[in-house]
Structure 1
């Protein structure tokens, strides 16, 4: 979707809303509220793991609805693409977010890079549910939600970007300093916090907004579980501790909803963006490409490349930098790597519809091929060394990883709905995360016809 098409859809939403009788449009002081809490990396399988203390999550599931067996996520199964799917109801092939940033192709021979320092308008090429809610006169806010920097439809912002405080709403930033949650208004002081410390600040910031502003739609994203699972893997002592802390943060948000006096009007949706797998071994495709003289390395970094691989955890995005020969180079890549240890398959663009991506002819950020690792292997960016297979330590990859194709059961995400308009004790069969945005739209009585998913009406009372 082009930027002009995006603007056209926004105009169509506005025209539609003007045609609705004013009594049917909820104002910022309306009585419907939805709070979405994303616990990054809290895999669906952890909800039923008896070693994980999750009293709040399990209570909310008993009192409301849970997607039994987990929610299918989008490809790539990484953070920014899936958080964007959650608020658009479409897969990356439409919304355009393929990584934790904008994928920038350089000139011929220049390696492709990922730039996270971009506004929402650069990252997301599709109108979001937030845009529709704002157009309907509802109040909106986000805490650490990806791909929202520079949004014009969020009343309060503390976005998930480098230099987060620089892009935080000034009013909110100063309030957090006054509350003692931030040392000062600089990113330097915020960066010094541990992942646990940052989750604490984000949680308390969300609680502050709930109590003081009572937004109709609030998006909250916590990261410590993801950080810990990357470092030590899921279902470890440290992982279980991180899971329990996330549950405690969620409990604080539930308490804030009570303190704000809006419990009876609030639906709480608790999700994760992807699952997790242990990856003690790694694939180093760039080593093989270096040995084949298809790329060059300078001071440990790829300086030139005809073909190179950008890792996304359990997959590698393959970029061929000579446009006229990209198809041939991608096919040669497939011939070279398929059948090697740890490689599940290599997917070429003619199969991208199967994984929800666009052909690179249609969207320049799309890769020219996708290297898919087997369970237990991560894909490394490293071009140093002599072997294709290495330990995660040697390859400088995480012991825990996501990013695998969403068909891997371990990648399934948690999804729980609780509170207003949710049928207690409901168990839903596996859904896709494209169903979350239309469900929120239904709960808020916001017209959002753009989503490919469907509202989870069997879990709702109206």
Structure 2
């Protein structure tokens, strides 16, 4: 299979929503890129629509039930900060960067989720120090490409303030620009988190979120100019995409409070979890319910009773209850006994202390890590789609895709690189590629429309 491009650059702007398109068209660099691009403003995300499963679906073309990254964090009851699915080993099967590497391409990934310890030439993985004795710089170095990261840290490290935004994205930007010019990778995956962070902390349409969109516009402009300055404009393909949207929330649902009251979660005198028969694992707008012992039918009935007592009244925040089989059919974790979908305005928290329902306030966001806006909801939630814009070598000009799925992106990237992801859940978007018959190649300059 012949490649259609020499350099594929994927820019993921976390939490970029279809609802953002009017704002993007008023920002100079986004507008210039979107004009003449092939695009879809109705991209169906996956379930649960949280960052790590989404980004793994993007580069595998598969649903979480198959690639194995079923949530952002692991089931670790009682841990204040559970570990995330940081490592490549948690992904079942191959990935886009694996196949590109096998084909002899130079690969780069900057803050791309689930890439720790991956075989990527220039790898700055998204991972953070999650133990008191760990140091952020050392954790990053040990899980990515040490010499490359040391160089980026020496050049641009003074920009960062740990993992705080927007400084972290500014550091990633400078590293991206330098890597394009100095390394010229065949595949580059870049993940920007500023917008998602601002929406969690301030709300979907907050002034802070709008400011993040403007910062992203400047970042995009810098990346596109770097491609031009590196002499790669005629040999590169750039994709701009989001992974999910977000919804404003005012109530946090804490199912584990009820499970503890029913004796299904045990704690010591300090409140620390010492054992559990059932546990609710949040995916923000949705949640998994697990029974610790699959053969424990008594506990499963008790969990069903808890759910039934809540589900009939939407004021409890539960819109839909899925069985294990139904969750797997939707692409989520079939090992969960149940999956819960929240009503708009509600989301799930892991916490097992306090009240079953708590108001989301400025104080709770500041002190309890609550959120003003969340994702993780069903891909079928109203006004909840994301976006996809493509421009450059191998991509036709101005093709509008009425609707597509997040899982279609990986197979399309693979086709452009001339590699295969094997048996995927998604399809190749052949209608935007130059191999499609009957379409005409037009001007696709990144810098001028």
Q: Report if TM-score (shorter chain) is over 0.5.
A: yes
Contact 2:72 2:85 in 1 (8 A): no
What is the rounded CA distance, in whole Å, between the counterparts of 1:358 and 1:305 in structure 2? 20
Aligned residues: 415
In structure 2, the residue corresponding to 1:246 is in which secondary structure? helix
Name the structure 1 match of 2:293: 322
Matched, 1:149 2:103: no
- One of 359, 367, 381 as aligned partner of 1:391: 359
How far is the alpha carbon of 1:324 from its aligned partner? 1.4
What is the rounded CA distance, in whole Å, between the counterparts of 2:379 and 2:373 in structure 1? 16
- One of 335, 339, 354 as aligned partner of 2:329: 354
Structure 2 CA distance for partners of 1:118 and 1:234, relative to 1, 3 Å: closer
How far is the alpha carbon of 1:291 from its aligned partner? 2.4
Contact 1:331 1:348 in 2 (8 A): no
Aligned 1:91-130 pairs, distance under 5 A: 91-103=63-75, 114-116=82-84, 118-121=86-89, 123-130=90-97
What is the rounded CA distance, in whole Å, between the counterparts of 1:358 and 1:169 in structure 2? 31
TM-score where L is the length of structure 1: 0.84
Name the structure 2 match of 1:73: 45
In structure 1, the residue corresponding to 2:47 is in which secondary structure? coil
Name the structure 2 match of 1:171: 147
Matched, 1:311 2:311: no
Contact 2:111 2:192 in 1 (8 A): yes
- One of 257, 260, 275 as aligned partner of 2:230: 260
Aligned 1:415-454 pairs, distance under 5 A: 415-454=388-427
Structure 2 CA distance for partners of 1:111 and 1:324, relative to 1, 3 Å: farther
Matched, 1:380 2:349: yes
Contact 1:36 1:268 in 2 (8 A): yes
What is the rounded CA distance, in whole Å, between the counterparts of 1:223 and 1:349 in structure 2? 31
Instruction: Encode CA deviations 1:224-276: one digit per residue, 9 max, x unaligned.
Output: 11110000111111110011111211111111111110111111011111101
Structure 2 CA distance for partners of 1:355 and 1:111, relative to 1, 3 Å: farther
In structure 2, the residue corresponding to 1:323 is in which secondary structure? coil
In structure 1, the residue corresponding to 2:109 is in which secondary structure? strand
- One of 185, 198, 208 as aligned partner of 1:238: 208
What is the rounded CA distance, in whole Å, between the counterparts of 1:452 and 1:438 in structure 2? 9
Contact 2:251 2:359 in 1 (8 A): yes
Name the structure 2 match of 1:370: 339
Matched, 1:139 2:103: no
How far is the alpha carbon of 1:222 from its aligned partner? 0.7
What is the rounded CA distance, in whole Å, between the counterparts of 2:337 and 2:79 in structure 1? 13
Contact 2:407 2:427 in 1 (8 A): yes
Instruction: Encode CA deviations 1:18-63: one digit per residue, 9 max, x unaligned.
Output: xx8xxx6x7xxx961110000011112111248x853322321212
How far is the alpha carbon of 1:442 from its aligned partner? 1.4
Contact 1:311 1:380 in 2 (8 A): yes
Structure 1 outlier segments of 4+, above 4 Å: 110-114
Q: Which runs of 5+ in 2 are unaligned?
A: 129-138, 436-449
- One of 411, 414, 424 as aligned partner of 2:387: 414
Structure 2 CA distance for partners of 1:140 and 1:345, relative to 1, 3 Å: same
In structure 1, the residue corresponding to 2:295 is in which secondary structure? helix
Contact 2:16 2:244 in 1 (8 A): yes
What is the rounded CA distance, in whole Å, between the counterparts of 1:405 and 1:380 in structure 2? 17
What is the rounded CA distance, in whole Å, between the counterparts of 2:6 and 2:338 in structure 1? 45
- One of 258, 269, 272 as aligned partner of 2:242: 272
What is the rounded CA distance, in whole Å, between the counterparts of 2:26 and 2:140 in structure 1? 31
Q: Which runs of 5+ in 1 are unaligned?
A: 1-19, 184-188, 361-366
Name the structure 1 match of 2:7: 33
TM-score where L is the length of structure 2: 0.86
Name the structure 1 match of 2:439: none
How far is the alpha carbon of 1:127 from its aligned partner? 0.7
In structure 2, the residue corresponding to 1:414 is in which secondary structure? strand
What is the rounded CA distance, in whole Å, between the counterparts of 1:176 and 1:112 in structure 2? 31
Instruction: Encode CA deviations 1:299-319: one digit per residue, 9 max, x unaligned.
Output: 454333222212111112112
Matched, 1:89 2:64: no
How far is the alpha carbon of 1:409 from its aligned partner? 3.2
- One of 237, 243, 256 as aligned partner of 1:286: 256
